[in-house]
Structure 1
Amino acid sequence: MTHAECVTGDVVAVVKPRGVASVYVVCEGECEAHCPGYNVVRVDELVGDAEASILGELVASMLLTPPEQIDGDPSVIEEARMAYLTRIAVEEHARLRKLLGGLAAHAKVAHIYHIVARASRLSRLYPWVPSSLIDVLRSDARVVVRDAEQSLLEAGCERSGGPWFELCEHSGARIRRGWRLVAVRLTRIWPLVRPGGVDHPLIRDPLLLVKLRRGRLRTKVLEFEEQLYSVTGVKRILRTVQMGLGGTVTAYRGEFKSVIVKRYLTPATAKWVVAAGIALPIYPYRLAPRDRLEAEYDAVNAMLDAGLPVPEPVLVDPRGLKAAYEYIEGTPLHHLVAKDPLHPSLAEAGMLLAQLHREGWVMGDANPTNFIVGRDRIYMVDLEQARKSDSIKHRAWDLAVLVYYSFLFNPQEPGNRAMLVAKAYIAAGGDVEVVREAARVVFAVPFTPIAPVTVLEKARRAFLHVAGAVT
């Protein structure tokens, strides 16, 4: 039977979506269908579903892919489809920004991400949606890519080279959490052809279409350890270090590279609760696991850009609050200080802090356990408390932590040790005012539980001596 025999009324277009057996009849006013499989939708309902999900996207979701056939006026369908794709670009990018948090500044998305992400979200309601999308991507992906790129440009997203786009900047974008359903005359609600699209990796986790500037973003398709193995070839655990209330750092030896896996747990580990309480008047420590994960990734990227020696990120999991970083082969500075209170690497650490401060960053937790002395240079690690700051107080805290915390491992030669670090810091371009600030009593007080007052006082006076000698 023809469309004319099956429908009466003011018909604008008859649409055959991909992947379903039903036909949609779009009418300007009232229409009536007489044949099985014909679904009647008014123009205002179609546009409303595309722009505001008034039908729960039951109709609009058919527009994720180009229709198989349009009889009548195609402009109504094409305009509604582009409006829908543009809207979901804004909404899905806003969702992604919320998921990634601070990592969003370092992320890029493939042109079809918003279409795949919406198909994945709708798959729980309308299983035929991912099936038809995957079929089109396999048979004629160019059409989907073309329309995806056009919708991203209309949404104001910027290209980033190749198939990649920057995340759309829509801070006020409204993320729809539900739909207002209205009556729609549908004769076949579950017209499935191949529901297997739900199991496709892209549908299971659209984050496969998102890349970070450095390292990879963990997806739900593989467990964290499985994905880590695919990247690094890790085979066995080197060592595990317990931190606070269950926080764990694990080192893995891999065939391709070795990594450290950090687990940022909630509630905050006792380590940072105590540190924040002690240093509250001086330095703003982060407690929330998510904040620490994002801050470390952001700091590492900035420091690598500046040529500073820090470990490369390998795999980041913002949902599981885990991240893998390059394992730096070497000796922790505190092991060297325990054997030699004036080890030359202390001066290297002071020089590295000066370089870091010149770049406008502070380490926050510059204790000797967070410096690794490699074969040819010294590295900074564990940068979850680092932040962008030009505060003299924050920079002085870095110096104070490096020197005063080292007395936990070896309290000998406190004055000479402080002089060694301070002179190296100034020689490398550090500000003498930072050294003078570090000599204030308030910076020594937090370390009285781990070092005798006499030891701290000798180091403090050495800071003053170096600052006075320079001026």
Structure 2
Amino acid sequence: MEEVVAARGYSFEIILSNSFFKPTFSNGILRSPRILFELDAKYGVFGDSLAGLLLSPLEYIDPSISGLVDSYRSSVVAEEAIGIKSMLGLLSTIISVKPELYIISRMVKLSELYGAIYSNILERRGLEALSYARKLIGLGKPRRLYSRFYKIVSSSLAHKMELSDLIREYRLLDAPRGLVRSVSLSESLDNIRIAELHTGDSIECTRLSILYSVYKCVGSRGTVIVKDYRVSSTKWIPAFLASAPTVRYRVDYRERALAELIYTKLIGRIIRTPEIIALHLGRASTIAVKEHIHGSPLVEESNPRYWSIAGRALAKIHLANYSLGDANPSNFIVDDSIALVDLEQARRASIREKAWDIVTVIAYSHLLGLKSGLLESMLKTYSDTLGEDTRILAREFKKIKYWIPYTIMPYMLPVALSILRRVGLLE
């Protein structure tokens, strides 16, 4: 049986043979038939359980293996890039990915075999050990037969590697400064575990609504809001249908997370908004950890002064050509002043989106049973602050499309039109 040492790493050797036998991995030595090793590297037929060592820095003893290594690494980068970009969705337009992440992502999947070897490499040389990934973007193609579930060898070098921890340590994902402090990626996400990362142990989480997955979590290091965008996706389907004649509500959870990141920052220049502390991305959901703003929802406040402050803030938002999309008065938080939370439907605004904000403010206020005097205080201040644009908006409200949703609650339509006339928003 002719055996050849094909390559060496820091703590392992790869020995290939022209004979046929079951591959083994023991004492840092991988022995494999050459044909099986090549099948795994080229097609992934053994879930990279043989070829996975090629992700490590290598010394080539057999020069003929170098082409196989380059081809394998290129395929891994292509395969992981597809998965990660799918997880990011539109978030990929603002979140930058270091190429080394694609290699580390595959290492994490193989950590039950070679985790100790991979961890040792990263401890010795850090990301520089994987710098080859920078040259492989766009060069490889996914392998058709790759299966991460079929392992042909076993190993005593298993060592758990947490992708989210490695992303934080090496800053493998990054967003523009000011949008979010940290970005993480994980196969699966758990609200409680994520809350513990930011608030410490002994946490207590309370769900704030049955319609969407938003939790207030209190721990030893403080209080945060944990928001799972995927869980609340179905909430927006009826809203999407109802608003179709005027605006398009976002349903996709990644679109909504992206909007919240961007517009929390932009609208935060006009009115206080909560800082987004972290964004955790998974294969089936996106979770944001946000600053908790102390106070009570505007809808619980009976002082007209706060409603006027909210109206002035909404007018300034519209004058800056933004809209809220979901202009629920409950999203205004009253403390010493006014803050605004929940901006996943915010957007750049034309007159159409601005008019829709006012329609939804009125609808929410009626559905919540609020006193009309409070709503009028808000809308009167809004109208006064808007200035010359009030006349443009008043003409817009004559269009039937804004009132189509009221066909399911026709008794509210005369009341809504009456309020708009009294505050000067309808001619």
CA distance in 2 between counterparts of 1:257 and 1:242 reads 21
Instruction: Please state if 1:93 is matched with 2:81.
Output: yes
Pick one of 341, 349, 356 that aligns with 1:390. Answer: 349
CA contact under 8 A between 2:278 and 2:288: conserved in structure 1? Answer: yes
Given the two structures, how large is their TM-score scaled by the length of structure 1? Answer: 0.69
CA distance in 1 between counterparts of 2:411 and 2:377 reads 16
CA distance in 1 between counterparts of 2:122 and 2:33 reads 28
Q: Which residue is equivalent to 2:260?
A: 296
Q: Which residue is equivalent to 1:260?
A: 225
CA distance in 1 between counterparts of 2:321 and 2:135 reads 35
Cα drift, residue 174 of structure 1: 5.5
Instruction: Please state if 1:60 is matched with 2:27.
Output: no
CA distance in 2 between counterparts of 1:451 and 1:369 reads 23
Matches within 5 A, 1:71-82: 71-73=61-63, 76-82=64-70
Q: Which residue is equivalent to 2:34?
A: 41
Q: Which residue is equivalent to 1:279?
A: 243
Matches within 5 A, 1:68-467: 69-73=59-63, 76-110=64-98, 112-123=100-111, 127-138=112-123, 140-141=124-125, 145-146=127-128, 148-155=130-137, 175-176=142-143, 178-179=145-146, 190=153, 192=155, 194-197=156-159, 199-202=160-163, 210-213=172-175, 214-216=180-182, 217=184, 219=186, 223-233=190-200, 237=204, 240-244=207-211, 247-264=212-229, 266=231, 268-269=233-234, 272-289=236-253, 291-304=255-268, 309-319=272-282, 320=285, 322-336=287-301, 339-340=302-303, 343-357=304-318, 359-376=320-337, 378-386=338-346, 388-407=347-366, 408-412=369-373, 418-426=379-387, 432-438=391-397, 440=399, 442-444=401-403, 446=405, 449=409, 452-462=412-422, 465=424
Q: Which has the larger radius of gyration?
A: 1
CA contact under 8 A between 2:333 and 2:341: conserved in structure 1? Answer: yes
CA contact under 8 A between 1:373 and 1:379: conserved in structure 2? Answer: yes
Change (3 A) 1:51 1:360: farther
CA distance in 2 between counterparts of 1:229 and 1:267 reads 22
CA distance in 1 between counterparts of 2:356 and 2:416 reads 14
Cα drift, residue 364 of structure 1: 0.7
How big is each residue's C-alpha offset from its partner over 1:278-299, in whole Å with a ceiling of 9 and x where there is no partner? Answer: 3332222234555544543444
Q: Which residue is equivalent to 2:15?
A: 23
User: Aligned partner of 2:344: which letter?
Assistant: E
Cα drift, residue 327 of structure 1: 1.3
CA distance in 2 between counterparts of 1:395 and 1:23 reads 68
Change (3 A) 1:91 1:370: same
CA distance in 2 between counterparts of 1:262 and 1:70 reads 49
RMSD: 4.2
Q: Which residue is equivalent to 2:6?
A: 14
CA distance in 2 between counterparts of 1:221 and 1:241 reads 23
CA distance in 2 between counterparts of 1:367 and 1:277 reads 18
User: Matched residue of 2:293: which SS?
Assistant: coil
Cα drift, residue 301 of structure 1: 4.7
Change (3 A) 1:413 1:88: closer
User: Aligned partner of 1:312: which letter?
Assistant: E
User: Aligned partner of 2:121: which letter?
Assistant: V
Change (3 A) 1:206 1:255: closer
How big is each residue's C-alpha offset from its partner over 1:232-254, in whole Å with a ceiling of 9 and x where there is no partner? Answer: 3475548543333xx34332334
User: Aligned partner of 1:385: which letter?
Assistant: Q
User: Matched residue of 1:226: which SS?
Assistant: helix
CA distance in 1 between counterparts of 2:244 and 2:188 reads 41
Change (3 A) 1:221 1:400: closer
Change (3 A) 1:438 1:149: farther
CA contact under 8 A between 2:393 and 2:425: conserved in structure 1? Answer: no
CA contact under 8 A between 2:256 and 2:344: conserved in structure 1? Answer: yes
Cα drift, residue 83 of structure 1: 3.9
User: Matched residue of 2:274: which SS?
Assistant: coil
Change (3 A) 1:359 1:227: same
User: Matched residue of 1:382: which SS?
Assistant: coil
Equivalent pairs counted in the alignment come to: 404
CA contact under 8 A between 1:89 and 1:152: conserved in structure 2? Answer: no
Cα drift, residue 368 of structure 1: 0.9
Given the two structures, how large is their TM-score scaled by the length of structure 2? Answer: 0.75
How big is each residue's C-alpha offset from its partner over 1:169-217, in whole Å with a ceiling of 9 and x where there is no partner? Answer: x9xx86546339xxxxxxxx6374x4232x2334x97655644531443
CA contact under 8 A between 1:239 and 1:251: conserved in structure 2? Answer: yes
CA contact under 8 A between 1:103 and 1:297: conserved in structure 2? Answer: no
Give % identity.
22
How big is each residue's C-alpha offset from its partner over 1:29-81, in whole Å with a ceiling of 9 and x where there is no partner? Answer: xx6699x9864537x985x86565477545532211123x54353xx444443
Change (3 A) 1:410 1:441: farther
Change (3 A) 1:416 1:22: closer
CA distance in 1 between counterparts of 2:400 and 2:73 reads 61
Change (3 A) 1:298 1:93: farther
User: Matched residue of 1:383: which SS?
Assistant: coil
How big is each residue's C-alpha offset from its partner over 1:77-99, in whole Å with a ceiling of 9 and x where there is no partner? Answer: 44443443333223212211112
Change (3 A) 1:239 1:20: closer
Cα drift, residue 273 of structure 1: 4.5
User: Aligned partner of 2:52: which letter?
Assistant: S
Gaps of 5+ in 2: 25-29
User: Aligned partner of 1:241: which letter?
Assistant: L
User: Matched residue of 1:24: which SS?
Assistant: strand
CA contact under 8 A between 1:366 and 1:399: conserved in structure 2? Answer: yes
User: Aligned partner of 1:393: which letter?
Assistant: R
CA distance in 2 between counterparts of 1:233 and 1:151 reads 35
